[in-house]
C-alpha cells in the first residue's frame, strides 16, 4: 500500500493569511492530485501533476496554486485565505503503471476553516 | 462531459442485510472505475478497482460489477455490519487525461 501524508490535519486561520497545505508520498508515484470537498458534496479536482515541474488546473476553479519540485512533494498554497476557502482538501497519488491499473491512494485530508 | 451519479444518496439497513449501491456514468469511454469508502472527516480508502475490460472484482464481502455499455456499476455488500457504516463513492477515470470523476456518494448506515 502507498503511504501518503497530509499536514496539517486541521487548520483554523484568519482571513488574509497565506497558508500552505502539505502533501507527501513515499512510493515514488508520478501522478498527484488535489481535490476539494465540501460536506456532503462530491470531490472536485482542483490541481494535478503528472511529474516534476508539471502542474495543471483541474475542473473546479481554485484560487490556490501548487508546485511539484520533487516527485514526493505536492504542496498547495493559498496566498490570501478567505472564508469561501473553508473546505476539506484531499491529496491523492498514483503511479502510471498498467500493472496497478493506476489505483488511486488518498491522504487523510486537511480540514481548513477560514474565519 | 463525464457525469457520475450515485443512488441512493443515503441508505439505512439493519445489520446482516445484503445491499447494493448504484453508480452510473454518462460516458462509457472510461479507463477504469474505482469504489472508495470515506469515514466522516477522513480521507478515502480504495475498496475495489475495475478495469474497463473487466466485469467484476471481489474483495471479501464486497463485489463490484461494471457494465460499461450501459454506464453502470454496482457495489454489493454481503452480510452488512455496523463497521460498514460510511460514505461510499465511485469514481471513473477517463481515457483522455486520466482524471478521476467522482459521484456524490451514498451514505450508508448499518444499524446493530
pLDDT for A34-79, tens place per residue? 999 988 788 889 999 999 999 999 878 788 999 999 999 999 999 9
Subunit contact A42:B42, Cβ cutoff 8 A: no
Share of chain A above pLDDT 90, in %: 71
B45 contacts in A (CB within 8 Å)? Answer: 106
A105 at B interface, C-beta within 8 A = yes
Residues 5-44 of A with CB under 8 A from B: 6, 31, 33, 35, 40-44
Element (H, E) at A107: none
When the pLDDT of each residue in chain B is averaged and rounded to a whole number, the result is: 92
Q: Which three cell numbers stand for residue A107?
A: 491522504
Subunit contact B43:A41, Cβ cutoff 8 A: no
Subunit contact B99:A103, Cβ cutoff 8 A: no
What confidence category does residue B79 fall into, taking pLDDT thresholds of 50, 70 and 90? very high
- For residue B9, the cross-strand partners are none
A55 contacts in B (CB within 8 Å)? Answer: none
The closest CB to that of A104, out of B4, B46, B104, belongs to B46
How many CA within 13 A on the CB side of residue B23?
30
User: What's the pLDDT at A60?
Assistant: 80
| Sign of the alpha-carbon torsion through B86, A45, A14, A11 | positive
pLDDT, greater one: B40 or A65: A65
Instruction: Tell which residue, A29, A61, A28, has the closest CA to residue A45.
Output: A61
Subunit contact B49:A58, Cβ cutoff 8 A: no
Element (H, E) at B95: none
Query: What's chain B's length in residues?
Result: 112
The closest CB to that of B43, out of A48, A102, A107, belongs to A107
Amino acid at each position: 500500500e502507498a503511504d501518503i501524508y497530509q499536514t496539517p490535519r486541521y487548520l483554523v486561520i484568519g482571513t488574509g493569511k497565506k497558508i500552505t497545505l502539505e502533501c507527501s508520498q513515499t512510493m515514488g508515484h508520478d501522478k498527484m492530485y488535489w481535490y476539494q470537498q465540501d460536506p456532503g458534496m462530491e470531490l472536485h479536482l482542483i490541481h494535478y501533476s503528472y511529474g516534476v515541474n508539471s502542474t495543471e488546473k483541474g475542473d473546479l476553479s481554485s484560487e490556490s496554486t501548487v508546485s511539484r519540485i520533487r516527485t514526493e512533494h505536492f504542496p498547495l498554497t493559498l496566498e490570501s485565505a478567505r472564508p469561501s476557502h473553508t473546505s476539506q482538501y484531499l491529496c491523492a497519488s498514483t503511479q502510471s503503471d498498467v500493472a496497478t491499473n493506476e489505483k488511486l491512494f488518498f491522504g487523510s485530508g486537511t480540514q481548513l476553516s477560514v474565519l | 462531459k463525464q457525469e457520475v451519479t450515485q443512488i441512493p444518496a443515503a441508505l439505512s439497513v439493519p445489520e446482516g442485510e445484503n445491499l447494493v449501491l448504484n453508480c452510473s456514468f454518462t460516458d462509457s469511454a472510461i479507463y477504469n472505475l474505482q469504489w472508495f469508502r470515506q469515514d466522516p472527516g477522513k480521507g478515502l480508502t480504495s475498496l475495489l478497482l475495475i478495469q474497463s475490460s473487466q466485469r467484476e472484482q471481489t474483495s471479501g464481502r464486497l463485489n463490484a460489477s461494471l457494465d460499461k455499455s450501459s454506464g453502470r456499476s454496482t457495489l454489493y455488500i454481503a452480510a452488512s455490519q455496523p463497521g460498514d457504516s460510511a460514505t461510499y463513492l465511485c469514481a471513473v477515470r477517463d481515457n483522455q487525461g486520466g482524471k478521476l470523476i467522482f459521484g456524490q456518494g451514498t451514505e450508508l448506515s448499518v444499524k446493530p
